[in-house]
Structure 1
Amino acid sequence: MLLENKNAVIYGGGGAIGGAVARAFAREGARVHLAGRTRKSLEEVADAVRAAGGTAETDQVDALDEEAVDRHADAVAERAGSLDISFNLISYAEVQGTPLAGMALADFERPVHNAVRTMFLTSRAAARHMMRQKSGVILAFGGYGDPPRDHYMGGFQVAFGAVESLRRNLACELGPHGIRVLTLQTGGVPETIPEGFEWGKAITEEIAGNTMLGRAASLADVGNVAVFAASDLARSMTATALNITGGSVVD
């Protein structure tokens, strides 16, 4: 097992991507610690992990709350003995579909503020324990890339860019302590589109159509790449993004 005896904290662990990553981590032997604001969705993911033979714990944590994040990370490290992987997958409360020229300041800056704040808080909390261990992996999700035309992303793509800048700084400072910092760079995961969403089919086709492979990353793909990134198979990788866009972004 690639992650045997590792302790992985997944913020936003009750979401579609968080759940996929949790199941993949647990399959490879990690003990997953699911953190989020909604107890019901966290427990649903935890139940699925346990039903498959994995180990999962849940905690209600607001990943934008400094004290709550620090308290939770300290508790995980104390009761589990280590904090080896931290992956922040919370939503940013962005507004899409409104042109920047007509967007309210609050709607523009909210995702940027939330993204940078939560990535900083969760990474700092994990790093304090990882530095003592001389090892650890911090993962981000989203990545850089040109915004799609005519979709009016608001501050969402700006938020991803800001997180990428922070990731570079974290990798630089934490590398000497044996801590790796990586991004899973996505071009969109159609399975996360809510069922019945009016433009869901069109968006799914567009995401796939922009790739070189003719298909977008699935939730299972995201989980598998996250496992690789967090495992010793990727022990020489840090300060970079793992491109899972199917070729829609060319490096």
Structure 2
Amino acid sequence: MRPRRTAPEAPPKSAVVVDKVSKSYGVGDARAKALDDISFEVSPGELVMITGPSGSGKSSILSLMGGLQRPDSGRIHIAGTNLFGLTRTQAARLRRRAIGFVFQDHNLIDILTAAENVALPLELDGVRPRAARAAALETLDAVGLKDAADRWVMELPAGYQQRVAIARAIVGEKYVVLADEPTGALDQAAGLETMKLLRLQADAGSAVIVVTHEPETLPWGDRVIELSDGKIVSDATVAARSAEALLKLETGAINLDAPLGGAE
């Protein structure tokens, strides 16, 4: 993988700063506030879980941190850069180089192979195809999919597709990884494998932020932020992990060779 280009020479203490952010949707009487003056920070190497009921603002804050939408008020800094103080071109470059996205439905390109999907963001950023493929193969190897590199992603089971999506998100050593319900469409085994990979990415130094509604995934995080009606109702450090999660975290128990299922 390429040396990290995205972090400044002296990285800020916080990889992500969300400061007094509000966001509403709709117009007139139908206007509804999705986020209401929320603030938090995420440090490099930290895995933060964001949870809450449907409509609490989880996906909205993830979209804002990824620069996919603009807040009505407040600011968001990624690696010390004001995300919304940039031109469109500058913001797109920052997203490509600093932020990795993992989606519930993978958002892979079916007509490309696993390696081509992972290499694509590098090529879009100007990396030569040969170097991009080399980085893609290295990253796929890191998530246990080296032997599937040249298979069409449409032929892979859901668990494998999510691994490809994670590889695409982390190739080039992203500073921030944003994951929206990454285990929502997977069976239990594939979901555990996915959370393990995200945990390892945080341990490698990325700030990883996961939106989830599944309580069993929360112990993998360092912190859990709970939203309700667009407000933060709790922001707590994970003091104790479940016995199962501790065992997997401490022993590194992860089967990267077993076929994974999951919802198709």
Fold equivalence (TM over 0.5): no
Q: Say which structure, 1 or 2, has more relative contact order (CA 8 Å, 6+ apart).
A: 2
Q: Which has the higher strand share?
A: 2
* TM-score, scaled to structure 2: 0.29
* TM-score, scaled to structure 1: 0.30
Q: Which has the higher helix share?
A: 1
